Structure 1
Amino acid sequence: MVIRGQFGAKGIVPCADGAGEVIAIGDRVTKWKVGDRVLANLSTGHLHGDMTPEIQATALGVEIDGTLTEYKMLPAESLVSIPDHLTFEQAATLPCAAVTAWNALNGPTPVKGGDYVLVQGTGGVSLFGIQLAHAIGATVIATSSTSEKLEVATKLGADFVINYKETPDWELDVLDITGRGAHHIIEVGGPNTLLKSIKAVRHAGWIHNIGFLAGSNSDVNPSEITSSLLRKGVIFRGILMGSVSQFEDMNRLISSHKIVPVVDKVFEFDQVKDAYKYYLESQNHVGKIVIRVAST
């Protein structure tokens, strides 16, 4: 959406994710030193607690200049350490997709071991959702459009997989697997999959809304959605990235379980146009696309 000019500020430096090395610090900075490997939270002003309009205005690559640059000055408090086992390329995938997935799984009622978690698709947030939910000890159900993508989901920790093209009524399979429905659903489809998600979630379960990859145009009657949510007492929650505090919590789990992000392809800095073309035109990539600004 940002790339196509459908969301965010105009004329800014793109990209919200980024990993790098500290090359200079301010006089009063004590937490970091030159040479530290760090990541910036996507919203540099979101340290903890709920999102606010003021915090939202600090979103890198959305409201202010992003990370597609050789040097970037950032508030010291917006940074977190890169897990030791990750490369810069792997770590650069974490700020947006991984923190969003973590926020979804760790809301007012966090996912716990034994919970059923349904993850839609195999995009960036969804893949991290599978990895993180699996590490927490949940039983993970993943949907996607091809057997190849579902093989990746299985390798990352999905316990059950459903091809939604072969099984259009996938919500019935979820009910068969879970008995009562999923405790948590990472919903990325939008209005065209939401009614199915409501059928697939248990009473008083959670649907965490990330996006609308199945399209924003829908013939679904909004009253049908609201009445379906009401009848099952479903909690519907919009997810908008996460905070530095959540980022740090997530990185502890990533470090302890040695979770490695899925990187589909790495482009060099002089291949930026190729990277965007690949992202916009390829519908078969699985995992994140990375632009390496400088070699280490």
Structure 2
Amino acid sequence: MSSSHAYTLLKKEIKTIADLSRWQKSQAFKEYQAFIETLNNAVKGKKVSDDIEETPQCKKLLELLDTLSMWIDEIPPVDQPQRFGNKAYRTWLERLTVNSETLLKNIIEEKDWSSIIELQGYFNDGFGNSTRIDYGTGHEMNFASFLCCLFKLRYLTDQDYEAVVLRVFCRYLTLMRKLQTVYKMEPAGSHGVWGLDDFQFLPFIWGSSQLISHSLKPEAFIDPVVAKKSSHDFMFMACIAYINEVKTGPFAEHSNILWGISSIPHWTKVNSGLLKMYKAEVLLKFPVIQHFSFGTMLSINPAEV
């Protein structure tokens, strides 16, 4: 993006199911999907515990997420009759929204401050909904879009691919699990992530890519001991370990789609299947995409051939 580029407030464009075809042909759809696949390829066979270069830009993002985590400690849950949806979350998210412009100015160069009008939209919507006190794949998509825009600004570059997934996104997941646990957030949508998981999707995609060519087979992740032991190295296993912590009963009953995935023989097939599922069950689902917003960095305009 050039220094003279004119940024704009984000705007919702998907208002009817018929608009989904416009979205699927858009520059935003093409670039977002390519972004997810690029990061997917970047972490093939890589462990979270590997020695990965962290540029100063990535370190600033990690510090930003640590600040948001610290705010949770400063804003404890309030006493309330209902068990779920603690209203203190609204205080936390309001602090984020009020301070997001300053937070973003602290990480990007002054020459790019005009882009904050768009970055803020994705960043603010990346941590859940204040009214419903819920979180789901649409919010996760907003945070991923925020990262995608940082690449478009050249704040992040090709050398950051691995660290963005295995450091920044992992830290984001830790933050989201803390928010979910402390404030008892609800899954967004009656089916969470359409049966895969209540809250997340991307760590299953990128996490299965990490496991390609590993000696652990997909059938192994349903063993809670194996999932826990491998959770520090693989995002997929960390997701399973978290599910085992927060859900009770037989795994096949509370996580039936994942149970079915465990029967697939190879991680390559799991990974390609999850990429297809993400497109079908998140990117092309009207209840998710109707809330997504567009600007100039991720535009609704038709993609160039």
Determine which structure has greater relative contact order: mean sequence separation of CA pairs < 8 Å that are 6+ residues apart, divided by chain length: 2
Please give the TM-score of this superposition, normalised by the length of structure 2. 0.25
Higher share of residues assigned helix: 2
